[in-house]
Chain A
Amino acid sequence: MTTYDQASWKDEDDDRHEPLLSEKANERVAIEDSPLPDDLTRDSLELPAPAEPALARHYTRLSQMNYGVESGPFPLGSCTMKYNPSFTEDIAARPEAAVHPDRPDRTVQGTLGLCHRLQDYLGRIGGMDAVTLQPPAGAAGEFTGIQIANAYHQHNGDDRSEVLIPDSAHGTNFATAAMAGYSVVELPSGDDGRVDIDALEAAISEETAALMLTNPNTLGLFERDIERIADIVHDAGGLLYYDGANLNALLGQARPGDMGFDVMHYNVHKTFATPHGGGGPGAGPVGVTEALAPFLPDPHVRQRNGEYEYYRPDHSIGKVHGYYGNWPVLVKAFAYITRLGDAGLADASAKAVLNANYLATQIPYEVPFGPFHHEFVASAGEQDAADVAKGMLDHGVHPPTTKWPETVDEALMTEPTEGESLRSLDQLAAAFEAVHDEDDGTLAAAPTRTAASRIDQVRAARSPRLSWQALDSDQ
């Protein structure tokens, strides 16, 4: 079993860890003799001014107080924290990739060509007829997809007001539907953790604009009745939306387009290994069937007379990003797909599913639903799942997603990804085992070996201090 001591920089005479940049080197400069008249300028500016060596040390220390995929196992359910290949960074950093978005099409044929290829690849992978790369993240992809559904219905003179979403879905689905002006109808899951067909039939109506579905769902379960579900939705005139968060379960085994989905988003920082950068950037390309292609965002890339060009699709919903989306992230996804090809992509999913299934047999917690694919949701039972997670931090592993979905008590949603070896899966299992055998008191005090010990969330929320200025005014 592994224990873990995260680097931690503490000032013994003080009540803080590494000081803030502002505490190390703040400087105030007055704005004087500027080329602008005084009434157009501010009086002064106060910011940190560390010399470069101090700056390098500051951020190096901060990085040591941070855990990434290259630090150890990161089985955060629904987040697909797989290894991010280094070579994709080199490609994204190529000087020819660093062009301005307002250049004429004919001077950026390389950029457009790469986008066109990526559109094509993603279409093949998802079984979709057309793909836009513009949405800058998964949630933006959802918004794009639902706006496309909205525009499609409007175009057909069909005013619909509701979006159906299973209770186990990602929170973004609900928020997206509301942002697009729809009422959300929540579908209760069936006893087997999947869509309850009776509940779906009861909820569907001529008001239904779309059903948003993740498949396999957040419990890792494939919706076996997907054809029937698609028929029910389509018969009512609605569209079927595929949340691509769990696509890493299915590469080469099944495609959303073949299952009857009309519109989907891809999470490239999940399925296609682009680094998540501590919260982002992502990219959320959206694929659609031919019928929906005229509604794609403006502009779209096509090839004509041997040249690539932008055009506005006939009934475009307009734009969802100021320019063309998160270009460097798309380049990395392109590089990953090109590197792996058909067989490599299919093997990635196969090993991801094998890893999840193997890990589930090695941990002392019960997994109530199955058969699952790339992730499983175990139950911490009598233990508090959040405490289990804190306990695992002391063993050099990142814990699973906790307390969600709510369909499992004290959920531990675990997605090891294909990148973990047998050895690291065993290390992960040992961490589960160790925490399982821990008493509640010890767990409640965990973690103790991380840079910071357990952090008081209540204090943070009751009196929010969101800047160093707020800390100063507090003292």
Chain B
Amino acid sequence: MSFDVPDDLRYLESHEWLRTESETTRIGITDFAQDELGDVVFVELPAAGDELTAGEAFGVVESIKAVSDIYAPVSGTVTAVNEALFDQPELINEDPFEEGWMLEAELADEGELDELLDADAYRDQIE
């Protein structure tokens, strides 16, 4: 089985992705992660204004039989939350890299981006 791993994203070993576009940075979980979890039924996310610390859990994603923490790839401040997920957590399964995004954040330290995996390194990890 092969999983979608977009080339333009950065990744954490714990299966979160991060996309930087001009002003905003988006964070979510990968195709591999959503497949491992199975049907997502619930997601718990912080609110706009909350602080993120790189490597620490910021939320929880649940399927029927499993609960997983979601870890912050970088430190920063939450600027937006994908509220569509509260009513349609299945977006995480259906479209993990686009419609299923979780947070937008303002980075505290751009240097932290260098610590993340690139697509090739992440592909190696999940294969």
Contacts and interface: CB of A to CB of B under 8 A. Distances in A.
Interface of A: 403, 457-458, 461-462
A458 B39 contact: yes
A461 B65 contact: no
Contacts of B64: 457-458, 461
B90 interface: yes
Contacts of B90: 462
A458 B92 CA distance: 14
**Size bracket of the B interface:** under 10
Contacts of B65: 403
B122 to A, nearest CB: 25
B100 interface: no
Interface string B83-107: 0000001100000000000000000
A403 B64 CA distance: 13
Nearest to B88: A462
A461 B39 CA distance: 10
The 5 A-B pairs at the shortest CB distance, nearest first, are namely: A461-B41, A458-B39, A457-B64, A462-B41, A461-B64
B32 interface: no
Contacts of B41: 458, 461-462
Contacts of A457: 64
A457 B42 CA distance: 13
B88 to A, nearest CB: 9
B90 to A, nearest CB: 7
Interface string B47-75: 00000000000000010110000000000
Given A403-B65, A458-B39, 6 more contacts: A457-B64, A461-B41, A461-B42, A461-B64, A462-B41, A462-B42
Nearest to B90: A462
Contacts of B89: 462
A131 B39 CA distance: 46
B92 to A, nearest CB: 12
A275 B98 CA distance: 52
A461 B67 CA distance: 13
Nearest to B93: A458
Contacts of A462: 41-42, 89-90
Nearest to A457: B64
Contacts of A458: 39, 41, 64
A337 B65 CA distance: 38
B40 to A, nearest CB: 9
A462 B41 CA distance: 5
B60 to A, nearest CB: 14
A403 B42 CA distance: 22
B34 to A, nearest CB: 13
13 contacts: A403-B65, A457-B64, A458-B39, A458-B41, A458-B64, A461-B41, A461-B42, A461-B62, A461-B64, A462-B41, A462-B42, A462-B89, A462-B90
A461 B62 CA distance: 10
A458 B88 CA distance: 12
Nearest to B41: A461
Contacts of A403: 65
B39 to A, nearest CB: 4
Select the residue from B41, B65, B90 with max chain A CB neighbours within 10 A: B41
A360 to B, nearest CB: 26
Contacts of B42: 461-462
B41 to A, nearest CB: 4
